[in-house]
Amino acid sequence: MRKLLRPSRVWLILAILYGAFFYWYTSFGGPLTPEEVDRYVALMERGNWSPEDITVVREFLEADTGDDFVMVNVIEFNDQPARIEGAPRGATASDLMNLYMEHMWPALLARACHPVLVGQAASLALDIWGLDGAERWSEAGLIRYRSRRDLIQIALNPEFAGRHEFKLGAIAKTVAFPIDPWFQLGDPRLVLALVFLVLGFASQSFYHER
C-alpha cells in the first residue's frame, strides 16, 4: 500500500506553490520612479514614437500606482489587409494578428499578463455617443498587466519592432485605454487559494480516514 503524505507536508507543499505563484503574479516593484520614467521616455524618443504618444504615455507612467491594471481594447479588423513582408500571401487580418501575437504571448505570460475577457462583436454598436465611425467593431478584449513597468518594457522591446507591422496591417481602427483601479471576482490568486484550501483539507481528511 502506497504511503500517504502527512497533512503537514501537503500543507507545506501547497504553501510553497502558492507563495511562488503569488510572488510571480503580483507586482512588488512599487510605482515607477521619476528616473525610470525619464529612461523609458528617452527610449521612446529614440524610437518611432510620435510626440503626442510620448506625452500620453509619460503621463500614464508618472501616475503609476504600482498595482496591476487592465487594458481595454476594441478593434475593427481590415477586410482586405495590405501585403506585409514576412506574412504568407493572402493572409487575413486574423492571420496577421496571430503572427504578431506569436511573439507577444511569451512576453505577456512571462510577466503574468493575460486576457481577462475576449470576445467577438455580435452586432453593430447598439449605443454611440459623440463618436464618428464607431458603429462597426470586430472584437473586444481586456488584458491584465501586472504593472505599468511590465507594459512599457514589453512595448519598448526591440524584438517586436518588425512584428508591429503585422498588427498595423491587421487593424483598421482601434481604441485602447487602461483602467486602474479595477476589480474582478475571479482573481487567480483568490481562486488558487480556494483550490489549495480544498486540496489541503481533503488530503487531511483522507489521511485521517486511512
The one-letter amino acid code at 185 reads L
> Do 161 and 110 belong together in one domain?
yes
Q: How far apart are CA 151 and CA 182, in angstroms?
A: 16
Q: How far apart are CA 38 and CA 58, in angstroms?
A: 8
> Do 108 and 55 belong together in one domain?
no
Residue-number span of the structural domain to which 35 is assigned: 31-65
Predicted confidence at residue 1, as pLDDT, reads: 44
Any residues with CB less than 8 A from the CB of 108 and at least 6 apart, and which? Answer: 114, 143, 154
Asked if the structure places residue 2 within a domain, the reply is: no
Predicted confidence at residue 162, as pLDDT, reads: 65
Asked if the structure places residue 21 within a domain, the reply is: yes
What stretch of H or E contains 115?
A: strand 114-120
> Do 60 and 148 belong together in one domain?
no
> Do 57 and 138 belong together in one domain?
no
Q: How far apart are CA 23 and CA 29, in angstroms?
A: 11
Residue 32 corresponds to which cell in the numbers above?
Answer: 515607477
Asked if the structure places residue 1 within a domain, the reply is: no
Q: How far apart are CA 155 and CA 176, in angstroms?
A: 14
The 3-state DSSP composition of the chain as helix, strand, coil percent (nearest 5) reads 50, 15, 35
- pTM here is 0.91
Nearest alpha carbon to residue 40 among 169, 147, 166, 163: 147
> Do 144 and 201 belong together in one domain?
yes
Predicted confidence at residue 2, as pLDDT, reads: 59
Query: Which residue matches cell numbers 500620453?
Result: 56
pLDDT tens series, the chain, 210 aa: 456 788 889 999 999 999 999 999 999 999 999 999 999 999 999 988 999 999 999 999 999 999 999 999 999 999 988 888 889 888 999 999 999 998 899 999 999 999 999 999 999 999 999 989 999 999 999 999 999 999 999 999 887 766 788 998 999 999 999 999 999 888 999 999 999 999 999 988 887 776
Number of structural domains (the chain) is 2
> Do 100 and 112 belong together in one domain?
yes
Please write the tens of the pLDDT for every residue from 78-119: 998 888 888 988 899 999 999 999 889 999 999 999 999 999
Residue positions counted in the chain? 210
CATH number at residue 83: 3.30.70.100
Return the number of other C-beta atoms located less than 10 Å from residue 132's C-beta.
Answer: 6
According to DSSP, the residues that pair with 106 across neighbouring strands are none
Final residue in a domain of this structure, among 20, 41, 65:
65
> Do 94 and 37 belong together in one domain?
no
Q: Is beta strand 69-77 parallel, antiparallel or unpaired with respect to 114-120?
A: unpaired
> CB of 141 within 8 A of CB of 119?
yes
> Do 170 and 200 belong together in one domain?
yes
Asked if the structure places residue 141 within a domain, the reply is: yes
The one-letter amino acid code at 41 reads V
Asked if the structure places residue 160 within a domain, the reply is: yes
> Do 203 and 108 belong together in one domain?
yes
> Do 54 and 103 belong together in one domain?
no
Q: Give Cα separations from 80 to 9, 21, 56, 61, 176 (angstroms).
A: 59, 42, 31, 36, 22
